[in-house]
Amino acid sequence: MATSAMKAPKGAIHEALKAVKIAVVGTGNVGSSTAYGLLLGGLAAEIVLVDINKPRAEGEAMDLSHASPFSHATRVRAGGYQDCAGASVVVIAAGINQKPGQSRMDLVHANVAIFKTIIPEIVRYAPDTILLVATNPVDILTYVTWKLSGFPTHRVIGSGTALDTARFRFEIGRYYGVNPESVHADIIGEHGDTELPVWSLSSISGMHLPDYCRHAGIQYDQKALTTCFTNTKNAAYEIIKRKGWTNYGVATALTRIVETILRDEDTLLPVSMVGKFAGVEGVALSVPCKVTRLGVFHTFTLKLSPEEESELRMSAESLKLVLKQVEPHLTQGLGL
């Protein structure tokens, strides 16, 4: 865990960003949108795009470079794995995308095979970086990335339920007619079908939802709130059904996670990391974790209701079952 002696002075962080390199591996819709968010945020001096389709990476780099005069003096270029060297963060968005009618878990075997080729190459050239995984199923691939990289758990982060939590707060805010920034409500567990809302700790401006309703003269309607969660859980399916993919929401979540790391914010975010959750050890899933310049740290345990604790355990156990199928394949062909 980070200590004050290990942290850079906050006043020095802005200057430090001028020397930062970020690599994005995979320049499809999510990777390119993330690079765009990083550019607009002025979070790096250099952004390197890596893709097996080199012309695609070159085209995205050219297009993004033409946006830099309107935003920040960031160098954007295409490169290979060797160009990940010196990157503070490597965002991994490579892999097969979810198609209409598919669950995230349908992508497991194809994307594990892809990660077996790319993770060792990234680690070879960037042994000190922080790895940020976006590819689905993100919790499984966060674990796979940790296993293949040999990194400590705090340097492997999955985007997890950061986006689900944003969607959840948007839905609750829309229902109550308040700005989502005033809503504090988390989605935890798997980024997928077994995720769960933490109703017992959800609040608006510090008031639990039933208390808020009472003070605002609004009837508390759990059925309507359950619809908010259903809309959250099904959001990706609905978006993919209409446009074929999701990109802006997850790219913004990834940009926010990178910003939190580079600015050493100590922000609590629901991101995926490897650990022990609800008594289930050796899985990656999301609970609020502290994100710092050193990586991600599980610094406290949520006080969940018995029902929520049980649901979190079920989510962890469902991921563990998938990992039991994946684990035997991780060392094949790697000389490990």
What is the domain partition of the chain in residue ranges?
21-158, 161-329
Q: What is the DSSP letter of 330?
A: T
CATH of 161-329 given 3.90.110.10, 3.30.70.360, 3.40.50.12140, 1.20.1560.10:
3.90.110.10
User: In the chain, count of helices (H) and strands (E)?
Assistant: 11, 14
Buried b (16+ CB within 10 A) or exposed e, 296-331: bbbeeebebeeebeebbebbbebbeebbeebeeebe
Q: Is the pLDDT of residue 274 over 90?
A: yes
Determine if residue 31 is labeled as part of a ligand binding site.
yes
Determine if residue 150 is labeled as part of a ligand binding site.
no
Determine if residue 231 is labeled as part of a ligand binding site.
no
Of 323, 298, 312, 321, which is closest to residue 188 (Cα–Cα)?
A: 312
pLDDT of 8 reads 53
| Mean pLDDT for the stretch of residues 39-64 | 97
Cα distances (Å, whole numbers) of residue 254 to 32, 211, 249, 266, 270: 12, 33, 9, 16, 12
Query: Are 231 and 171 within 8 A, CB to CB?
Result: yes
pLDDT per position as a tens digit, 15-44 = 656 689 999 999 999 999 999 999 999 999
Q: Is the pLDDT of residue 335 over 60?
A: no
pLDDT of 3 reads 41
Alpha-carbon span 39 to 63, nearest angstrom: 12
pLDDT per position as a tens digit, 158-198 = 999 999 999 999 999 999 999 999 999 999 999 999 999 99
* Element spanning 236, H or E: helix 235-243
Same fold, 21-158 and 161-329: no
Alpha-carbon span 119 to 232, nearest angstrom: 31
Determine if residue 26 is labeled as part of a ligand binding site.
yes
Q: Is the pLDDT of residue 5 over 80?
A: no
With cut-offs at 50, 70 and 90, classify the pLDDT of residue 333: low
pLDDT of 19 reads 83
Determine if residue 83 is labeled as part of a ligand binding site.
no
Determine if residue 173 is labeled as part of a ligand binding site.
no
pLDDT of 96 reads 82
Query: Which numeric CATH code is attached to 21-158?
Result: 3.40.50.720
Active-site residue, selected from the candidate residues 154, 191, 298, 329: 191
Active site residue 184: no
Query: Which three-class secondary structure state does DSSP give residue 56?
Result: helix
| Helices 54-65/29-41 angle, 10° precision | 30
